[in-house]
Amino acid sequence: MDFIGEWITNIILFILLAVIVDMLLPNSSMQKYVKMVTGLLLIVIILTPLFSFLNSDIEQTLTKLKLSPNPTDKNIENLIEMKKEEIQAHTLAYSLETVAVLMKKQVEEELVQKDLNLVVKDVTPSMTDDSGEIMSIKVVLSEETVEPDGIPVVNQVDIDTSEQIEPIENGRDMTSLTNSLATIWEIDSEKIVVIVEGGKES
């Protein structure tokens, strides 16, 4: 209400001022231009409340648009990020499974070539989540079991006590196998851990 009262007061004062100016000016061509200017100014004063309303409404609308985030867009972004992480996890798991199968076959071939009576129980590669780089490979082997067909024939054994008997190390040296696998897989041999069940770790 104060704004409307001020607006009406401005109009009345401007009209009184225009009348006084019109009375003071002599009758000449200049009076015509003065009346035109005062008429335009009066129109501007009358339309001032409309201009103020439009300006304030636009500013408030823009402020609301900038300060109020759209919750729907935020939910969509979160959903996309979750789906992306889920796809990456499935892809990494599938890659690890595929690589493990291939590595197991390569280990079996190396065991045959080196004439080691061992079988592959498990090959577990570990990869980084971001780059997919292999960090370590765990190879689990076990003794090859052979079912006897019958009771074996015991031959006579001659023991020569003159020769010194060297102790036999319990377990196998897997260094050669580890180095061969490192060459095939093109990684550092320190990243390969070979475990023989019932034997030792190398």
Decide if pLDDT at 157 tops 50. Answer: no
Task: For the chain, give the percent of residues with pLDDT over 90.
Answer: 0
Pick from 27, 52, 67: which residue ends a domain?
67
Residue 190 and residue 112 in one domain: yes
The whole domain housing 53 covers: 2-67
- For residue 114, give both structure tokens: 């080196």
Q: Considering the entire predicted model, what is its pTM?
A: 0.45
- For residue 187, give both structure tokens: 């990684």
Q: 103, exposed or middle or buried, with CB in 10 Å at 0-12, 13-18, 19+?
A: buried
State the total domains in the chain.
Answer: 2
The dihedral formed by the CA atoms of 120, 124, 125 and 128, expressed in degrees to the nearest 10:
180
16-67 per-position pLDDT tens digit: 777 777 777 666 666 667 777 777 777 877 777 777 666 665 556 556 555 5
Work out the number of other CB atoms within 10 angstroms of the CB of residue 21.
Answer: 14
Residue 45 and residue 122 in one domain: no
Residue 47 and residue 100 in one domain: no
